């Protein structure tokens, strides 16, 4: 089973992908998390992506696509994958479709998480993430049990450099010009499920699970 989580920065893709993956026993593969791990590890790939990420623009397809497609094929034996933050433009979506078709597979559904811009800005301005496992928290709506420490693995929490006011503005622009056209792309393919992303985390997660079950997944 291949499910894509699509939505603007701060819509809750990472939060919901973790929630739904755990409930449905799927693997959560997040392009942004993979890139941040490469940066933390000081790899060549991380160095190539870092300056783009800090500015809030997309990293080059030539850096991101091989990395994600490789992880998908490594994970093929699993019961299914949630792709979070990939694809991000039409070229990535078409390349993903071709790669899956070659293996006799296809994307099953695309969950589009819809949240107002006012709420997106509120969420990103209070976000903290775990330096090690990348779990997202929010200083008001979902604080960790121990301040600045991840509930899941105990590592330090930090504020992403691209959550600055300037970078968030740029990311929202990039989303609207490069990624939002995917809503139409997957809608035409009959694969889009649009979910209201406002409400508490569990409530939104159950909406997503009910919608997937409604499609027989």
Catalytic (active-site) positions: 13, 88, 127, 160, 171
- Residue ranges in contact with ligand AP5 by CB under 6 A: 7, 9-15, 31-32, 35, 52-53, 56-59, 64, 85-86, 88, 92, 123, 126-127, 136-138, 141-142, 162, 171, 200-201, 204
Q: How many residues does the chain have?
A: 217
**Residues paired with residue 195 on neighbouring β-strands, in sequence order:** 113
Contact yes or no for 130/159 (Cβ under 8 A) = no
Q: How far is the CB of 119 from ligand AP5 (least distance, A)?
A: 8
CB nearer to ligand AP5: give 210 or 216: 210
Tell the smallest beta-carbon distance from residue 35 to ligand AP5 (Å): 5
Closest alpha carbon to 34 in 133, 124, 110: 133
CB of 217 to ligand AP5, least distance (A): 21
Residue nearest to ligand AP5 (CB): 32
| Nearest Cα to Cα of residue 108 among 18, 200, 26 | 26
* Beta carbon nearer to ligand AP5, 114 or 187: 114
Q: Which is nearer to ligand AP5, 46 or 85 (CB)?
A: 85
């Amino acid at each position: 089973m291949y499910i894509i989580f699509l939505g603007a920065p701060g819509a809750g893709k990472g939060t919901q992908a973790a929630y739904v993956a755990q409930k449905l026993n799927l693997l959560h593969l997040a392009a942004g998390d993979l890139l941040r791990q490469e940066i933390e590890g000081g790899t060549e790939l991380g160095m190539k992506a870092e300056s783009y990420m800090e500015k809030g623009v997309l990293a080059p397809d030539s850096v991101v696509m091989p990395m994600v497609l490789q992880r998908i094929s490594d994970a093929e034996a699993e019961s299914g994958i949630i792709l979070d933050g990939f694809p991000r433009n039409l070229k990535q979506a078409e390349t993903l479709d071709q790669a899956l078709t070659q293996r006799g597979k296809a994307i099953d559904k695309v969950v589009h998480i819809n949240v107002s811009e006012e709420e997106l800005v509120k969420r990103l301005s209070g976000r903290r993430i775990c330096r090690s496992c990348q779990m997202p928290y929010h200083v008001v709506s979902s604080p960790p049990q121990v301040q600045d420490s991840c509930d899941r693995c105990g590592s330090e929490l930090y504020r992403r450099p691209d959550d600055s006011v300037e970078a968030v503005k740029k990311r929202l622009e990039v989303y609207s010009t490069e990624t939002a056209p995917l809503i139409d792309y997957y809608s035409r393919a009959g694969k889009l499920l649009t979910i209201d992303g406002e409400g508490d985390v569990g409530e939104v997660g159950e909406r997503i699970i009910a919608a997937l079950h409604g499609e027989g997944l």
